[in-house]
């Protein structure tokens, strides 16, 4: 026989269970959201942006032909590395034309070029063929190398565009950009690589 007291307890239990379930579900959801946020912000904060005077972090990425390209393979050469936006971005073709124009002037003077973009190999192949580029486009599909260098990832809303000069010893000597690869930024990278004297150059 259910007494009035037991009825009240049962009523309270039935009322509380849905509330507890809701609280627990919300808590799990919040933890999940926090986990995602931590992954995103943690990735950005995984390393601060590289600085001049530091050794350029080594990496291996596939080029437009699907062939692995390793940064260390360029030691002994002056290297200009450009990080650019999607192959489909409005300004990308013009940026590559600027780079190609400068590269033609300096490719016989022991200056090489690598361009790193977020698109897959097939997209880079189409871009390379369309613009008849003399340098490699490397596929950084998951932004791993951007994060390795401390550059803004895709989740930031804007990848940003950067140029870096790396000397023969693998040391970063100059960094420029952030918004776009303008004529001045591209020319400055190549001019710096050619004019600077001293250890590593």
Q: How confident is the model at residue 18 (pLDDT cuts 50, 70, 90)?
A: low
- Is residue 128 assigned to a domain? yes
Q: What is the pLDDT of residue 52?
A: 95
Q: Are residues 98 and 169 in the same domain?
A: yes
The reply to whether 52 falls in a domain is no
Neighbours of 4 (CB within 10 A): 7
On whether both 37 and 93 belong to a single domain, the answer is no
Q: Are residues 36 and 77 in the same domain?
A: no
Tens-digit pLDDT profile for residues 117-172:
999 999 999 999 999 999 999 999 888 999 999 987 654 545 678 899 999 999 99
Instruction: Indicate if 35 and 121 belong to the same structural domain.
Output: no
Query: What pLDDT is stored for residue 43 in this prediction?
Result: 45
Please give, one letter per residue, the 3-state secondary structure of the chain. Answer: CCCHHHHHHHHHHHHHHHHHHHHHHHHHHHHHHHHHHHHHHHHHHCCCCCCCCCECCCCEEECCCCCEEEHHHHCCCEEEEEECCCCCCCCHHHHHHHHHHHHHHHHHHCEEEEEEECCCHHHHHHHHHHHCCCCEEEECCCCHHHHHCCCCCHHHCCCCCEEEEECCCCEEEEEEECCCCCHHHHHHHHHHHHHCCCCCC
What pLDDT score does 29 carry?
Answer: 43
Identify the band that residue 113 occupies on the pLDDT scale cut at 50, 70 and 90: very high
The contacts of residue 132 (CB under 8 Å, 6+ apart) are 100
Instruction: Read off the pLDDT of residues 37-79 as tens digits, 9 standing for 90 and up.
Output: 344 444 444 578 999 999 999 999 999 999 999 999 999 989 9
How many structural domains is the chain composed of?
2
**32 and 110 share one domain:** no
* Residues 18 and 66 grouped into a single domain: no
Residue 5 has pLDDT above 50, yes or no: no
């Amino acid at each position: 026989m259910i007494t009035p007291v037991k009825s009240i307890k049962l009523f309270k239990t039935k009322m509380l269970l849905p509330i507890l379930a809701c609280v627990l579900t919300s808590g799990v959801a919040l933890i999940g959201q926090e986990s995602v946020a931590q992954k995103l912000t943690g990735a950005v904060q995984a390393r601060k942006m590289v600085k001049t005077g530091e050794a350029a972090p080594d990496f291996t990425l596939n080029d437009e032909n699907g062939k692995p390209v390793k940064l260390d393979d360029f030691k002994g050469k002056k290297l200009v590395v450009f990080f650019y936006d999607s192959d489909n971005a409005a300004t990308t073709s013009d940026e590559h034309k600027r780079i190609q124009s400068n590269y033609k002037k300096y490719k016989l003077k022991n200056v090489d070029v690598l361009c790193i973009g977020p698109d897959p190999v097939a997209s880079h192949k189409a871009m390379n063929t369309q613009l008849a580029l003399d340098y490699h486009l490397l596929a950084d599909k998951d932004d791993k190398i951007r994060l390795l260098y401390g550059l803004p990832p895709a989740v930031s809303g804007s990848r940003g565009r950067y140029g870096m000069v790396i000397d023969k010893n693998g040391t970063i000597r100059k960094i420029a950009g952030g918004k776009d690869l303008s004529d001045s930024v591209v020319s400055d990278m190549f001019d710096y690589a050619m004019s600077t004297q001293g250890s590593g150059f």
